[in-house]
Amino acid sequence: MRKSLLALAAGLLLAGSVSAASAADKLKVGFVYLGPIGDLGWTYQHDLGRQALVKELGDKIETTYLENVPEGPDAERSIEQLVRAGNKLIFTTSFGYMDPTLKVAKKYPNVHFEHATGYKRNPNMSTYSAKWYQGRYIQGLIAAKMSKSGVLGYIGSFPIPEVVSGINATILAAQTINPNIKVKIIWANTWFDPGKEADAAKALIDQGADVIMQHTDSPAPMQIASERGKLAFGQDSEMIKFGPKTQLTSILDTWGPYYIERVKAELAGTWKSEDTWGGLDSHMFTMAPYTNMPDDVKKMAEDAQAAITAGKLHPFKCPIVGQDGKPVECKGGDHLDDGQILGMNFYVKGIDDKLPGK
Amino acid sequence: MELVEAIILAVLAASTPLLIAATGELVAERSGVLNLGVEGMMIVGAACGFAGAWLTGSILIGALLGILAGTLMSLVFALMALGLAVNQVATGLALTILGVGLSGLIGAGFVGERITPAVHLAIPGLTNVPLIGRVLFGENGFVYFSIALIVAVWWFLYRTRAGLILRACGDNHVSAHALGYPVLRIRTFAVMFGGACAGLAGAYLPLAYTPFFIPGMTAGRGWIALALVVFSSWRPGRLVVGAYLFGAVTILQLHAQGWGVGIPSQFMSALPYLATVIVLVLLSRARTGGSTAPAALGTVFVPDR
């Protein structure tokens, strides 16, 4: 309710700015954000992408964003609002906007839509996401090298394939360094609750974990790890400010190049519906500088990053053995195929925990 | 041993904001006012508290600013719901919406900054006692204050004449008015106390719990505080039980997940709510029976002059 009110307010502002600029005849590009742009994580990184876009093509385009737009049916109104305000290319930046985006896309065939992290497409609706599991693999290598206790702590949000594939990639990498490595997993069942994330980090550390990794959005776990003199990885965004002696690296979402590419295509009239799933090679995300580790670990991480970027190393290289001890079917030749990774709903061998709902 | 101590410390840290906010709301509701704006007052308290501490470097000034901000927010509520006799539920919800927006505005300049959190008490010899040392003698000021606060509120409500009058306003405002008590003035003070507590509870989050400010960082704690007041059947003693029980189950379910007990995490996350509701309902059944809600709770009162 509060979010829709904010969106409404933003919409009113938007309506005000539209009339002023219509004379300039620029391409209008709209963005729908889940959180506030000050969330220091997911939405913040999308807005950095938008800013990069403005910097590059600011003379040809005009951007508008709506922040704090709740997922679900409410989102439909916000997206439609952007259409009515004359936006010709609209990026909707959260999984939960999938159905609302599709609905609006079908209603307005002449407007182009781009939906992040979803799987439903239309002739005028593309999808885009990043292969974050590649970054998780590198983090797993570093974690196994840096952990003295041999226990990693992992804070999950929800047991969805994106998060599960991240956990598996982490442990598969860690096992190549230390076959007996353990990972303790706590599901926060929220994307964002700094207090609860901090409590989860405390619980993991109290149970012996000395490297903390998170798939939730706030810098609270990083801060707890820093307070307790442990190590941690950031999430989505640069979090070193919250743990100057703690952050090993962080997966940084870098949407800018993609946004620029797609808007250029729109300007050239060559835009078409596509499914983009970019890895390290596509610069859809990068790794924050490798810090707080010895040079040999840093070199190992950089080598792994180079190998993954060059396509020489695949995190889900076969054979992959499930928790039941049986190898997983290898649909992608010598590694799991994209569909298997996108729909991952099992833990690999070496994780003692049970996947919720299995 | 060390793990038990660590768990108790985490429980205290998680329960304290709930206890402070719920204590304030309990007093407001005992006077007959239902203020659903706790979440909004808390988040503004968080933003102002952090801003104050960051600008001055003093946690105390931050906490005081949080209290002030919460009180000002509650005055907006008092003006509408008591002064103009607007529906309390609608006003409270509006206050939350206002608070969330306002806190984002106030806090925008402080996102990403960090402060040194509130210091913990350290008494040589006592704080190092195993198991209980850090729990009893090694906490931050907020924790001790929250306990003193609920004791003081209990004493006020049940052992002072002023407390009796406040409860009378909550149970039957017409009679209280007929006896010559200034119902609206008493309720305004109760609402202000509720706002001050919510502001302090909000300020606790960036000043002691997770020392940074991010919009929306209260993450629904105001609503939990509201629910605790109802399930404690408006009694301070049960409120303490409820708040610590909720915190304890929250922390224990995280630990249980870390140990890998194999219960679905979705169920574990629901457990604090379930356990708190069940225990408090059992508690209130065991005693008097029947509803103990202030009889005039949430009803509008316009004095006939």
Does the beta-carbon distance from A153 to B258 stay under 8 Å?
yes
Question: Domain for residue B103, yes or no?
Answer: yes
Whether residue B207 lies within 8 A of chain A, CB to CB, comes out as no
Model confidence at A16: pLDDT above 50? no
Domain of B47 in residue numbering reads as 2-222
My answer on whether omega of the bond before A109 falls inside 30° of 0, hence cis, is no
What is the pLDDT at residue A20?
A: 40
Model confidence at A11: pLDDT above 70? no
- Total domains present in chain B: 1
What is the pLDDT at residue A2?
A: 42
Q: Are B218 and B206 in contact (CB under 8 A)?
A: no
Q: Sort out which chain B residues have CB atoms less than 8 A from A196's CB and list them.
A: 219, 250
Instruction: Read off the pLDDT of each residue in B14-24 and give the average, rounded to a whole number.
Output: 97
Q: Sort out which chain A residues have CB atoms less than 8 A from B215's CB and list them.
A: 35-36, 38-39
CB contact residues (below 8 A), chain A span 224-263, against chain B: 241-242
Q: Are A67 and A36 in contact (CB under 8 A)?
A: yes
Tens of pLDDT along A213-239? 999 988 999 999 999 999 999 998 899
Q: How far apart are CA A34 and CA A42, in angstroms?
A: 8
Pick among 3.30.70.141, 3.40.228.10, 3.30.950.10, 3.40.50.2300: CATH of A2-130: 3.40.50.2300
Q: Collapse the DSSP code of A289 into the 3-class scheme (helix H, G, I; strand E, B; otherwise coil) and give the result.
A: coil
What is the pLDDT at residue B291?
A: 61
Search chain B and give the residue with CA nearest A220: B210
Whether residue A204 lies within 8 A of chain B, CB to CB, comes out as yes
Tens of pLDDT along A145-164? 999 999 999 999 988 888 99
pLDDT band at B114 (very low <50, low <70, confident <90, very high): confident
Tens of pLDDT along B253-300? 999 999 888 788 888 889 999 988 888 888 777 666 556 789 999 999
Q: How many Å lie between the alpha carbon of B260 and the closest alpha carbon of chain A?
A: 5
Does the beta-carbon distance from A202 to B108 stay under 8 Å?
no
The count of CB pairs under 8 A between chains A and B is 126
What is the pLDDT at residue B287?
A: 60
Q: How many Å lie between the alpha carbon of A181 and the closest alpha carbon of chain B?
A: 15
pTM: 0.88
The ipTM, to two decimals, is 0.90
Instruction: Read off the pLDDT of each residue in A180-191 and give the average, rounded to a whole number.
Output: 93
- Could you tell me the residue ranges of all domains in chain A? 2-130, 132-252+287-311
Residues 6+ apart with CB under 8 A from A207: A151, A153, A184, B3, B255, B258, B259
Instruction: Read off the pLDDT of each residue in B74-88 and give the average, rounded to a whole number.
Output: 95
Question: The tokens of B245 are what?
Answer: 């029980």
Residues 6+ apart with CB under 8 A from A274: A126, A127
Question: Domain for residue B153, yes or no?
Answer: yes
Question: Domain for residue B259, yes or no?
Answer: no
Do the domains at A2-130 and A132-252+287-311 have one common CATH topology? yes
Question: Domain for residue B60, yes or no?
Answer: yes
Q: Are B179 and B19 in contact (CB under 8 A)?
A: no
pLDDT band at A8 (very low <50, low <70, confident <90, very high): very low
β-strands A125-130, A182-187: how paired?
unpaired
Question: Domain for residue B234, yes or no?
Answer: no
Question: Domain for residue B231, yes or no?
Answer: no
Question: The tokens of A108 are what?
Answer: 């307005």
Search chain A and give the residue with CA nearest B257: A186
What is the pLDDT at residue A13?
A: 43
Q: Reply yes or no on domain A132-252+287-311 having CATH 3.10.640.10.
A: no
Tell me which residue in B100, B111, B221 faces A2 most closely, judged by beta carbons: B100
Does the beta-carbon distance from B108 to A192 stay under 8 Å?
no
Distance of CA B261 to the CA centre of its chain: 32
What one-character DSSP code corresponds to residue A181? -
Search chain B and give the residue with CA nearest A238: B112
Whether residue A319 lies within 8 A of chain B, CB to CB, comes out as no
